Structure formats: C-alpha cells, structure tokens
Amino acid sequence: MDTSFAKWVHQYIHVVFQHAQKELRYHKEYQKDQSKQLKGRRLWGRLSKFENHVSYMKQINSESWSSLHSNAKEEISDHLHALGELSAKQVTVTELYNDFPDLRFAFGKAVAPSSRPNWTQERQRIYQLAEEKGLDKEKIETGLKYLDTYDPKKELKNIEGIVVNMYERLHLDWLRRTGALMGSRFAELVASFNLVSTPTPDSSLLPSLPAEISKKLTIINQVETEIWLSLKSKEGKTILQEKIRLLKEQTEEDIHSFTIPRLDLIASLRKENPQDPSLGNLAIEIADLARRQLQAQALADTLNWALDLEGKVLKEWIKAAQAATCYETKYQWPQPVPIDTLLASPQRYEGQDVVIEGLVKEVKIEHKGKERKVISTALVAGDTSNITVSLPFIKLDSGGLVPGAWCRLAGTWKGSSKDALGEPALEIDRIPYTKLGKESFRDWLTNQIAPIFLRIPHEIAGTWSWQKGSNGAANPLKYGVWCRHERSSKRGRR
C-alpha cells in the first residue's frame, strides 16, 4: 500500500470516528433536553412529526386561524433552517458512504499482526522501543494485547456499521423533519382557507372551473411523468433538479393564487345548497387539486434529498422508476352506483365493489369488543335515501370526512355488515399502494412519500370536499394523520 493511500485510509477512519463522536454527544444532549420546551418547540431537530399536532389541535379547536397561519409560517422557516443543517451533514456522510468500497479494498490488503511469521520478534521489538520512550509497562502490554487480537475484517465491519448507521439515521432525521415541514405547509393552507371569506360568491366562475382544475392537474402530471422518465433513463442530476424546481414553483404559486380562492368560492356556494351534486363534485375536484399540489411539493423535497444523499436511497428511486411500466395509477375505481339504485336492489349488488357519492350526514366512532376495536360508520345521503358506510380500525373523521362534506367512496356492498352491527353497509376499501407501486410509478411514489405526506389519510379509497371550521379540512392536522403514522396498524390494508 503506497504512502498517499495509507494517509487517505487514516483520514477516512479519523473522519468516521470524529463524526460518530459528534452524533453521540448530539443524542445525549437530545435525550437530556427532550422534555424541555423553547417557545413551544423542541430544542432539537429530531422531533417527531406528531409533536406538531398538539399545538395544531388547540388552535383548530378554538378556530384561531390567524394564530395557526402565523405559527405555521414561523415553523416552516424553522424546519427549512433545520433541513439546511441536515444538508450540511449530508455532504460528509454521503462522501463517507460512497468512499467505503475503497476502504474495503484497503482493509482487504491488511494482515492481522498476529498472523505475520515474525510477529513474536516484532512484538518484542515494539515493547523495547516503547520502554525506551518511558511508557508505562502496563499500558505497553495493554496495547500489545490489542495488536495480538486485532482483526482487520472485524475492524472493517465495525467501521461499516458506523457509516451505514450514520447514513440511515441522517435519512430518518430528514424524514421526520420533512414530515413536520409538510404538516406546517398543510396548516398554512388550511388556515388560509378558513381565513379567506367571499361576501358575494361569484357563480359566473363555475362553468370554466372544471377545465381550469383539469389544466392544473395536467401540468402536475406532465412534469411528474417527465421526472419518472428521467429517472428511468438515468438522466443527469442537473436535468432532474430543474424539473423538480419547475414542479415546486408552479404548485406553490397556484395554491395561493388559484386553489385557495376557489376552495372558498365552492364552500361559500355550498352553504346555500349542500346537496347539489354538481357543486359537490366541484368541491371534491378543487379539494383533490389542493391535495395533489401538496403531494407534488412533498415529491419535490423527497427526490431532491435523494439526489443529494445518493447511495441506497437514490438507488431505490431509480430501481422503482425502471421497474414501473407506467406513470398513472393502477387503481381501478369500481362502477359508480347511485345510492337510491343500490338501496332499491341491494341483493343485486351483494358482495360487489361499487362507488357511491353523496352528502355526509353524520359520522359515528365506536369501540367494540374486548380489544375496544375502533369502528367508524357514516351516513351518506343520496337523492331520497341514506346509506351507511363503514371502516374498521380507523376514525373516518380524522381525515376530514365530516358532516356537510360531499364524498365519493369505493368499497364492497354487504347486506349484513359486521362493522355496521349486521345492518346493510358499504365496507370502505383501502388502496394497496405497495402492491400497485410495482407497476405504477405514481402509486410507488405515493407510498414512498407517505411518511411525510398522504394525499388521502389512511390510504382510503375515496375522496371528499373540504369543510371550514374546527371539524373539517383541518382534521388531519388535529389528529396527526397528514402522513403515515410510524405506529399505525397494518390491519385492513391489502
């Protein structure tokens, strides 16, 4: 091994252990101070995204929208600053992670001292030199015993464990912090929606609204498709980052200039006629646009991080892009059936997957059995009849499905549903993004960014309009379900 390479190896190991010591001190300080508060926030960056919803809950319940809005903007600034610090760490960690194969090569050439043919003589010589320098005999013997048992392969494994742990922990820290950031962005959007008020809603804007919404969604789909194709063909980092920048800038501008005013317009018009299907469908479309715009921002942040972090995280994105056969979702919505038609011929649809639409009249959350299993039921109104929908293990209202909302839900029709105490009900489905993501890139990225943002909470096969007030669009913040909870049960998922 030449001298320059040996120096590089020494420097690499020095940086690894220096960084590891900093991380150790960091964690000790975090554990020591994690219960302390500073202006209502955690002192350290390793906060859980779910620590936010406690403060959100208070402001939402009291409908303090101005306070929620200003706090959200301040938190966005704090999160971006903390993410900048993580990015500074990322440079060192990525370099160590990417250079590890060279270290493995170096250690592959190393030989354990005890396996050298003349080790006994060399050991004695080292002892004598150490004595001549006045070193303590006990310390000399301790050092030599370490050399007696030193194994380069074990040392390499130890260093590899430290480097991989630093890489994975940094990524986890980024996910937690970015999950909190997306919560703050969502909070700003919901607060703005509740703050804006149109005294005289302009219904003349309605005829052009579907086409305008479609145009906004088309732009998002086009840029995301280009991103997928760029990853699939392994285009350069600069090209990808430019597409990501365009996606983020476009959605940020549209949210404030278009989406929030239109959300308010539809909400205002629906006050007078909540059971109007055409207004209900428009309400769903504009709410879905808001969710897609937030999801696009989460995608932009996540992919930008993967491009910088490189290594295993970026390889996952490239592998998924190359494995996908299409961009669009592979989820197939079942046949839509009017509620009155379904209830008029319930046996005809027994066990079939269908989609129903209507106005949510009420939502009930019950705990059943010894395990106190959560069962959600909701009453959805059609033209002249009401239908019950049910979902186990999940509180439906936590995602914003509340009385007054217009909903579109997919599920299996049962003439006797256990979850509805034997009454007829539509048992709501959940979308299996993990399975669908093997073919669809959009489904894969929905699942991939779920730890920081979920377009529809709990992967429910449905969508619904946004309602103003303390029980409505803000509920995912209030209950901490704007992203996939790390401890959430997998029961009910396909």
Q: Which of 30-39, 114-123, 417-426 comes out lowest in average pLDDT? A: 30-39
Number of domains in the chain: 4
| pLDDT above 50: residue 40 | no
Same domain (yes/no): 96, 146: no
User: What confidence tier does 50 reach under pLDDT thresholds 50, 70, 90?
Assistant: very low
Say which amino acid occupies 65: W
- pLDDT value of residue 2: 53
Of 228 and 29, more confident: 228
- pLDDT value of residue 13: 64
Q: What is the dihedral angle through the alpha carbons of 40, 46, 51, 56, rounded to the nearest 10 degrees?
A: 60
- pLDDT value of residue 1: 46
Same domain (yes/no): 157, 93: yes
| pLDDT above 70: residue 477 | yes
Same domain (yes/no): 291, 345: no
Of 35 and 340, more confident: 340
| 135-140 average pLDDT score | 86
- Alpha carbon 249 to its chain centroid, in Å, reads 20
Of 12 and 464, more confident: 464
- pLDDT value of residue 402: 97
| pLDDT above 60: residue 422 | yes
- Alpha carbon 354 to its chain centroid, in Å, reads 29
- Distance between CA atoms of residues 398 and 485, nearest Å: 13
Q: Which of 4-8, 196-200, 280-284 has the highest mean pLDDT?
A: 280-284
How many C-beta atoms lie closer than 10 Å to residue 371's C-beta? 7
Same domain (yes/no): 144, 157: no
**Residue 487 is assigned to a structural domain of this protein:** no
Same domain (yes/no): 359, 284: no
User: What confidence tier does 141 reach under pLDDT thresholds 50, 70, 90?
Assistant: confident
| 389-396 average pLDDT score | 93
Same domain (yes/no): 135, 155: no
- Distance between CA atoms of residues 52 and 66, nearest Å: 17
Local structure of residue 74 (DSSP, 8 states):
H
| 75-84 average pLDDT score | 94
Helices (H), 233-333: 237-254, 260-272, 277-309, 311-323
Q: Which of 40-54, 95-109, 209-223 comes out lowest in average pLDDT? A: 40-54
**Which residue in 284, 303, 193 sits closest to 237, CA to CA?**
303
User: What confidence tier does 229 reach under pLDDT thresholds 50, 70, 90?
Assistant: very high
- Distance between CA atoms of residues 445 and 302, nearest Å: 10
- pLDDT value of residue 280: 97
| 160 CB-near residues (< 8 Å, 6+ apart) | 100, 104
| 231-256 average pLDDT score | 94
Quote the pTM value: 0.85
Of 301 and 136, more confident: 301
Same domain (yes/no): 60, 134: no
**Residue 64 is assigned to a structural domain of this protein:** yes
| pLDDT above 80: residue 448 | yes
**Which residue in 201, 179, 218, 227 sits closest to 82, CA to CA?**
179
**Residue 35 is assigned to a structural domain of this protein:** yes
Tokens of 4: 């320059």
Of 106 and 72, more confident: 72
The mean pLDDT value of the chain amounts to: 87
| 27-42 average pLDDT score | 41
Same domain (yes/no): 175, 129: no
**Which residue in 392, 381, 357 sits closest to 463, CA to CA?**
357
Please return the burial class of 161, using the count of CB atoms within 10 Å of its CB with bins 0-12, 13-18 and 19+: exposed
Say which amino acid occupies 409: L
Please return the burial class of 494, using the count of CB atoms within 10 Å of its CB with bins 0-12, 13-18 and 19+: exposed
| pLDDT above 80: residue 475 | yes
| pLDDT above 80: residue 488 | no
Out of 311, 331, 351, a domain closes at: 331
**Residue 294 is assigned to a structural domain of this protein:** yes
**Residue 352 is assigned to a structural domain of this protein:** yes
| pLDDT above 60: residue 184 | yes
What count of Cα atoms within 13 Å lies in the side-chain half-sphere of residue 161? 6
Domain harbouring 343, CATH code: 2.40.50.140
| pLDDT above 70: residue 151 | yes
| pLDDT above 50: residue 206 | yes
3-state secondary structure 210-251: HHHHHHHHHHHHHHHHHHHHHHHCCCCHHHHHHHHHHHHHHH
Q: Which of 15-24, 156-165, 223-232 has the highest mean pLDDT?
A: 223-232
Same domain (yes/no): 171, 209: no
Query: Is residue 381 within 8 Å of residue 338, measured between CB atoms?
Result: no
| pLDDT above 70: residue 144 | yes
Host H or E run for residue 444: helix 441-448
**Residue 5 is assigned to a structural domain of this protein:** yes
Tokens of 338: 């009017």
Q: Give the CA angle between residues 325, 328, 330 to the nearest 5°.
A: 75
**Residue 442 is assigned to a structural domain of this protein:** no
**Which residue in 171, 2, 147, 83 sits closest to 163, CA to CA?**
171
- pLDDT tens-digit series, residues 360-379: 999 999 887 666 678 899 99
- pLDDT value of residue 199: 77
Of 166 and 18, more confident: 166
**Residue 133 sits in which domain range?**
113-150
Please return the burial class of 183, using the count of CB atoms within 10 Å of its CB with bins 0-12, 13-18 and 19+: buried
- pLDDT value of residue 14: 63
Same domain (yes/no): 34, 64: yes
Same domain (yes/no): 342, 421: yes
Same domain (yes/no): 85, 124: no
3-state percent breakdown (helix, strand, coil) of the chain, nearest 5: 60, 10, 25
**Residue 8 is assigned to a structural domain of this protein:** yes
- pLDDT value of residue 36: 41
- Distance between CA atoms of residues 65 and 190, nearest Å: 8
- Distance between CA atoms of residues 272 and 351, nearest Å: 37
| pLDDT above 70: residue 18 | no
Query: Is residue 373 within 8 Å of residue 353, measured between CB atoms?
Result: no
- pLDDT value of residue 492: 39
| pLDDT above 60: residue 39 | no
